[in-house]
Amino acid sequence: MIAYIFSLIVNFILEVINKGGYLGVFILMALESCNIPIPSEVVMPFSGFLVHQKIFSLVVLAVIGALGNLFGSLVSYFIAFKLKDGVKGFFEKSKFFYHDYIKAENFFNRFGEKSILIARVLPIVRTYISFPAGFFKVNLFKFSIYTFFGSLVWSYFLAYLGFYLGENWQILEGYLRRFDYLILIVIVGILCYYIFRKIKEIKSRS
């Protein structure tokens, strides 16, 4: 079932790029950064293959991909920005989570800009980093700069691999998907540890 759904997504991506060209790439990369499951690991390598076919330019393609990511990231940023006060009020009323909220806020005040740049070249994380950035009100100009250049590196890297592999570009998806799973396992592990720690803390106070 999952494989079938993924094949539908891949076919959709290929059709959008074939019909829309650079605009199609922009839209797909923007959708990915709006947290819609459109994997750039398919979008950019296939587009890189089209560079191999002399349909696209590698540099222009990377810039278009980065601009698409920036546009989608700004949408996510402003959604989180608008939700900040309501969510903050919830944490302020929670005696168990407010301390963690303050620590997260202090982290982003200190390292938020650098973490955005690093996150932009990490699968899975790169898609969702805009939410905490908007939530903790990272400087919008710096957020945009780091997002663009981090996404430019990511887009160029994937497009170049697709260009290099040519008709074999699809083998990339399998390798990159394994790395996605590794990142996901790490994230789930961290969340499980956090939940276990909070349960233990609640029991110790009761």
- 120-140: string of b/e by CB count within 10 Å (b at 16+)? beebbbbbebbbbbbbbbbee
How confident is the model at residue 47, as a pLDDT? 94
Query: Does 193 have pLDDT greater than 70?
Result: no
User: Average pLDDT, whole number, for the chain?
Assistant: 81
pTM of structure? 0.78
Token pair of 126, please?
């790169």
Q: Kindly state the DSSP code that residue 138 receives in the 8-state scheme.
A: -
Token pair of 85, please?
């006060």
Q: What is the mean pLDDT of residues 3-21?
A: 84
Q: How many CA atoms lie within 13 A of 195 on its CB side?
A: 6
- Measured between alpha carbons, how far is residue 134 from residues 84, 116, 119, 130 in Å? 8, 11, 15, 6
- Reported as a single tens digit per residue, the pLDDT across 88-102 is 666 666 665 666 667
Query: Does 182 have pLDDT greater than 80?
Result: no
How confident is the model at residue 78, as a pLDDT? 92
Distance separating alpha carbons of residues 29 and 8, to the nearest angstrom = 17
Q: What is the mean pLDDT of residues 183-187?
A: 62
Best-predicted range by mean pLDDT (93-102, 118-127, 158-167) = 158-167
